Amino acid sequence: MDPIQILARVGGVAYRSMDASRALEVWVHMARQAGWDVAELPADRAADDPTDLGAVLVEGIKYRIHYSPRVRRLLADDSTGHLTYRDTLGYAAWAEPDLSTYEED
């Protein structure tokens, strides 16, 4: 599985800082389980992007790890007095290659 295919489903359908702080750890763990050599870059976080959890180096390529609504979830809703289910987006950590430092050979 390529690193960009890894989705760490952490949290629910609402943002919680506790889930966001754990999401990077879960993504790194899943990438390592998939066989990738992952090094965390703890001081590398984009302050102007609230979805940015930081960066990792995966076998020489830098990836930014984001946390945002990304995966389909089924939400149970009983606010009308009747139980209904609807599709919604839940939070997950996901990777995106950092192309700002990438050079083609």
Q: Mean pLDDT, the chain, as a whole number?
A: 90
Range of 33's domain? 3-99
Neighbours of 65 (CB within 10 A): 25
Q: Is residue 105 part of a domain?
A: no
Tokens at residue 7, please?
Answer: 């989705």
pLDDT tier at 105, thresholds 50, 70, 90: low
Distance CA 56, CA 75 (A): 32
Domain-located, residue 86:
yes
pTM recorded for the entire structure? 0.83
Calculate what percentage of the chain has a pLDDT beyond 90.
Answer: 60
Q: How many domains does the chain have?
A: 1
CB of 84 closer than 8 Å to CB of 97: no
- Is position 77 within any domain? yes
How confident is the model over 10-55, as pLDDT tens digits?
A: 988 888 887 888 999 999 999 999 999 999 998 777 777 888 999 9
Backbone torsions φ then ψ of 43, nearest 5 degrees: -90, 5
Is 104 among the domain residues?
no
Given this model, what pLDDT does residue 66 score?
95
Average pLDDT for residues 42-70, to the nearest whole number?
88
